[in-house]
Structure 1
Amino acid sequence: MEYLVHGWHWHIEGIIPLILFYQGYLVGIGPLRRHFGWAETVESRQVVAFSAGVLLIFLALFSPIHELADSLFSAHMVQHMMLVVLMPPLLLLGTPSWLLRPCLRLLSAKRLLRWLAHPMRAFILFNLVLIMWHFPIFYNATLRNVFVHEIQHVSLMITSVLVWWPILSPMPEIRRLSYPAQMVYLFLLAIVQTPLFAILTFSDHLIYSVYSGTQVGNISAVADQQMGGVIMKLVSAVAFMLAITITFFKWFGGEERREAQQTGLSNLSQARDS
């Protein structure tokens, strides 16, 4: 309970960029949209999705979860799942293409984004970054040095957005994978990290020495580490399988519509011939 009351921390170096990021979005979909005529309206569901993504970042980095992550590996993995698995789809679903295009032009970043968001490159980059940060030498450094910890979070968030891009790209210019390819891509994402989860879950010794002197309640450091591995596997598996299911029904629905259209055209042609 003490963590819930006193565990909120307003790190100025993090909260200001987040506020500016969200404020920039609101200005972009509001005054700038109307001024430049980018779009007549903005869909409310997009605003809700983007706002939920920003809220997840806020809760992960400034709520008691962040405080607990310094003492509990499992809490740190909850934090990472919020930033890596749950947040990126919401931000992408909430970003209109007409807002993203001028931002990329301003930063001259469209070509770079197209290169980085290529499915193979995004897949490899994300998994390399995720696995690298779980090597003990790097992981321990994140909890001993605030700057390294911030680099970890930023790199994980950026690469996680990139890895979700082939599934939820807001821009037709940087195309999404076909529905069958999306399902294969998501399935590979779900299984490629299994060795990491297995090591964390089934190891009978403490992997990260940074937690050797910390304990919350009656949870041992090894049990906490194992719990963290289970959390990572469950959250990622549920998220990716849900995404695969949604993708399947989109694909199936599209096939049914095409079949109905072809049947309708065939019937029309037969009616004309008769």
Structure 2
Amino acid sequence: MFGLVGISWTSMWSPVTLAAFVALALIYLYITGPGRARFADSTPVPAAKKAWFVGGLAFLYVAFGSPIDLLGHMMFTFHMISMSFAYLVAAPMLLAGTPEWLLRPIGRIPGIKGLKFLVNPIFTLLFFNIAFSIYHVPLVHDFVMLNFAVHTAYYVLLMLAALLMWFPVICPVSSLDKLEGFRKMGYIFANSVLLTPACALIIFSGTAMYVTYTDPMMWATAMGYCVPQGATALLEMFSGPQALGWMDALVDQRTGGVLMKIFQEIVYGSILVYVFRQWYRKENPKAKNDDDSLDPTPAYFEMLRAQSEPAK
């Protein structure tokens, strides 16, 4: 596949990662299904909401367990596709699929109220965009890619930052849903602006900036975390990070930056349209569209629940 002769299917498809995400999906489906009775004040979770969460897990697997993840160590283009799937697509889907009653027990943890700043829109806005931008500084990126423990920890940090960044937009907790209308649209626009410098640095750089995509030994070291052969065997099997031969390192880097920006604009643009529709329907109840089957907000699912209950 993709010209990776000699790479095992287990390295390309990561069955361990797949098993982990399947287990998470089954646990979620049990908790929101038969296990819901264990949670106080729980309400039925519509199939549409479950689909959002399971779909988010599927995108995470594609990002971090499919051949896209492996190819992301060979080509910067696939690296940016992986990050787009994880942080711009999967993260909001997971939030959209999380019922409010499932998060309610977290609010009762001692000292948790002191961490309320973590969902403050200004903090979430800066946290994700700064963490993402710092990661793509060449020295930082290469250090993270060449150190497995740091690599894992930073990716977990970016996932947490992405979830927090999306929290003010797709807020599963109604009491914390403070942004409305134009403020929410302004928040999304600000995210788009703050991510632009990192993309511009990648796109308009005159040289290939990352040694893990240009230096064969550094590439083999980073790639060695994904396959069992080891760096020496990899260099015997492949000439280096350009083994696929699709494009040179600079073109690959620029393509990755462009794709990231395109993904960002599509996702943020779609969310802007959604938020505008929500605001417009709230201000104009008579103009409400009946086709709300994809609306992931808590208010919509509360409306579904109310409709499903027998009249008193």
Using the size of structure 1 for normalisation, the TM-score is: 0.86
Q: Distance in 1 between matches of 2:75 and 2:170?
A: 33
User: Any stretches of 5+ residues in structure 2 without a counterpart?
Assistant: 217-240, 289-312
Q: Distance in 2 between matches of 1:109 and 1:98?
A: 19
Residue of structure 2 equivalent to 1:31: 34
Q: Distance in 1 between matches of 2:84 and 2:130?
A: 16
> Shift of the alpha carbon at 1:117?
0.8
**Structural mapping, 1:32-111, within 5 Å:** 32-36=35-39, 38-105=41-108, 108=110, 110-111=112-113
> Shift of the alpha carbon at 1:8?
2.4
Residue of structure 2 equivalent to 1:266: none
Q: Tell me which of the two structures has the higher relative contact order, counting C-alpha pairs closer than 8 angstroms and 6 or more residues apart.
A: 2
Q: Distance in 2 between matches of 1:91 and 1:108?
A: 25
> Shift of the alpha carbon at 1:162?
0.2
> Shift of the alpha carbon at 1:241?
1.1
* Cα pair distance change 1:114/1:188, threshold 3 Å: same
Q: Distance in 2 between matches of 1:150 and 1:15?
A: 17
**Structural mapping, 1:67-216, within 5 Å:** 67-105=70-108, 108=110, 110-111=112-113, 114-212=116-214, 213=216, 214-215=241-242, 216=244
* Contact 2:43/2:101, CA 8 A, preserved across alignment: no
* Contact 2:281/2:287, CA 8 A, preserved across alignment: no
* Cα pair distance change 1:108/1:90, threshold 3 Å: farther
Q: Distance in 2 between matches of 1:205 and 1:81?
A: 23
Q: Secondary structure at the match of 1:42?
A: coil
Q: Distance in 2 between matches of 1:253 and 1:18?
A: 36
User: Any stretches of 5+ residues in structure 1 without a counterpart?
Assistant: 261-274
* Cα pair distance change 1:112/1:63, threshold 3 Å: farther
Q: Distance in 2 between matches of 1:56 and 1:196?
A: 23
Is 1:245 the counterpart of 2:277 in the alignment? no
Residue of structure 1 equivalent to 2:227: none
Q: Which has the higher helix share?
A: 1
The farther-off stretch of 245-254 and 16-25 is: 16-25
Is 1:235 the counterpart of 2:239 in the alignment? no
* Cα pair distance change 1:90/1:218, threshold 3 Å: closer
* Contact 1:168/1:176, CA 8 A, preserved across alignment: no
Which of 247, 257, 260 is matched with 2:285 structurally? 257
Q: Secondary structure at the match of 2:77?
A: helix
Report percent identity of matched pairs: 28
> Shift of the alpha carbon at 1:104?
4.8
* Cα pair distance change 1:36/1:251, threshold 3 Å: closer
* Cα pair distance change 1:228/1:179, threshold 3 Å: same
Q: Distance in 2 between matches of 1:167 and 1:40?
A: 22
> Shift of the alpha carbon at 1:102?
2.2
* Contact 2:96/2:170, CA 8 A, preserved across alignment: yes
Q: Distance in 2 between matches of 1:69 and 1:190?
A: 23
Which amino acid is 2:251 matched to? A
Q: Distance in 2 between matches of 1:201 and 1:39?
A: 48
* Contact 1:114/1:174, CA 8 A, preserved across alignment: no
Is 1:8 the counterpart of 2:12 in the alignment? yes
Using the size of structure 2 for normalisation, the TM-score is: 0.76
Q: Distance in 2 between matches of 1:27 and 1:259?
A: 38
Which amino acid is 1:8 matched to? M
